[in-house]
């Protein structure tokens, strides 16, 4: 089993310079890819998706080159390319929102509707068939998730959900929201739990990025057919919690 290297949080010149170069390159490349995705609106969703996924892969390579951030994936054997899953993933940073696009098959993501209001970047998100919700209206948000989420699954798209709702600092626990489990219960599609320690090297709300190897742990599928949403949610949360303890206390 791969274990992350010891974390070096020393604020060296390389850390500052690498983080600055990564920021500039992400900003510039995101603007360019956003324009390309918008120009690709006349084409299929697959074309727009592939453009976005290629950019995500580029950011991961830039992260390694500028900041020394690499990653390993455990549990790839649980990925069945022809079986759409509802992914319930730990959320620690922006890193996983990019990395999952390169690790998993074609997917859509549950996100805040306000993110789609940003010029170019947000518009590109909207053009990528994301499931956008207003969290201030819980009932409407659940309706949209169940309706559009089921439609996406039936079309062969994976649905990625961060059930904690926001980025959580390492070694901090919070309860899973029930939306993803409710989608699994209503649709009958299985759940794939994922744990990761991205926040150790790419901290939330931080300009600085630190060198190291992020570990992504993919768990065994959780059957949802004929099961209560509460039971599905509890099983996914328990697996992710245990996996996080293994990652944080190797």
End-to-end CA distance of the chain: 10
Which pLDDT value is given to residue 128?
86
pLDDT tens digits, 148-191: 999 999 999 999 999 998 999 999 889 999 999 999 999 999 99
Distance CA 40, CA 51 (A): 9
- What was the pLDDT predicted at 2? 42
Residue 88 is assigned to a structural domain of this protein: yes
Residue 71 pairs with which residues in a beta bridge? 214
pLDDT band at 249 (very low <50, low <70, confident <90, very high): confident
In a 3-state reduction of DSSP, which class is residue 152?
A: helix
Q: What is the CATH number for 114?
A: 3.40.1130.10
Split into its structural domains, the chain has a count of: 1
- Neighbour-count burial for 88-102, b at 16+ CB within 10 Å, e otherwise: bbbbbbbbbbbbbbb
d(CA 105, CA 74): 16
Q: Is residue 94 part of a domain?
A: yes
**Residue 5 included in any domain:** no
Q: Is the pLDDT of residue 4 over 50?
A: no
| Residue 157 covered by a domain | yes
In which band, very low, low, confident or very high, does the pLDDT at 8 lie, cut at 50, 70 and 90?
low
pLDDT (mean) for 222-250: 95
CA distances from 34 to 93, 114, 118 (A): 21, 17, 11
Task: Look at residue 173 in the predicted model and tell me its pLDDT.
Answer: 84
Give the C-alpha separation, 66 to 173, whole Å.
Answer: 31
CA-CA distance, 140 to 135, in Å (whole number)? 9
Whether 244 contacts 176, CB under 8 Å: no
174 lies in which domain range? 13-248
pLDDT at 28 (0 to 100)? 96
How far are the Cα atoms of 4, 100, 177 from residue 212, in angstroms, in the given order?
A: 7, 18, 30
Residue 6: its pLDDT value, please? 55
Mean pLDDT, residues 10-25 taken together: 95
pTM of the model as a whole: 0.92
> Higher confidence at residue 2 or residue 26?
26
How much is the average pLDDT of 21-27?
Answer: 97
> What is the rounded distance in angstroms from the CA atom of residue 55 to the CA atom of residue 32?
10
Averaged pLDDT for residues 81-96: 96
Q: Please say whether the beta carbons of 116 and 122 come within 8 A.
A: yes
In this structure, is residue 1 part of a structural domain? Answer: no
User: What is the per-residue pLDDT for 116?
Assistant: 86
pLDDT of residue 5: 44
> Per the domain annotation, does 167 fall within a domain?
yes
Domain annotation covers residue 181: yes
For residue 95, give the nearest of 209, 232, 222 by alpha carbon: 209
pLDDT band at 9 (very low <50, low <70, confident <90, very high): confident
Residue 3 in any domain: the answer is no
pLDDT tens, 97-151? 999 999 999 999 999 888 888 889 889 988 888 999 998 898 999 999 999 999 9
Query: Residues 41-76: pLDDT tens digits?
Result: 999 999 999 999 999 999 999 999 999 999 999 999
């Amino acid at each position: 089993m791969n274990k992350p290297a010891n974390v070096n949080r020393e604020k060296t010149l390389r850390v500052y310079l690498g983080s600055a170069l990564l920021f500039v390159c992400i900003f510039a490349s995101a603007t360019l890819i956003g324009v390309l995705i918008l120009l690709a609106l006349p084409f299929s969703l697959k074309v727009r998706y592939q453009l976005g996924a290629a950019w995500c892969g580029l950011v991961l390579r830039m992260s390694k080159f500028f900041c020394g951030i690499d990653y390993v994936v455990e549990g790839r054997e649980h990925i069945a390319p022809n079986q759409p899953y509802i992914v319930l993933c730990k959320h620690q940073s922006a890193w996983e929102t990019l990395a999952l696009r390169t690790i998993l098959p074609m997917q859509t993501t549950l996100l805040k509707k306000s993110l789609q209001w940003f010029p170019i970047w947000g518009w590109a998100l909207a053009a990528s068939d994301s499931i956008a919700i207003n969290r201030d209206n819980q009932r409407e948000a659940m309706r949209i998730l169940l309706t559009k989420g089921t439609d996406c699954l039936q079309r062969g798209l994976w649905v990625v959900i961060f059930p904690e709702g926001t980025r959580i600092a390492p070694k901090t626990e919070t309860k899973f929201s029930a939306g993803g489990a409710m989608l699994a219960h209503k649709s009958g599609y299985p759940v794939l739990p994922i744990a990761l320690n991205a926040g150790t090297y790419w901290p939330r709300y931080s300009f600085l990025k630190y060198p190291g190897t992020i570990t992504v742990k993919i768990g065994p599928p959780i059957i949802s057919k004929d099961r209560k949403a509460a039971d599905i949610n509890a099983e996914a949360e328990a697996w992710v919690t245990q996996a996080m303890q293994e990652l944080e206390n190797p």
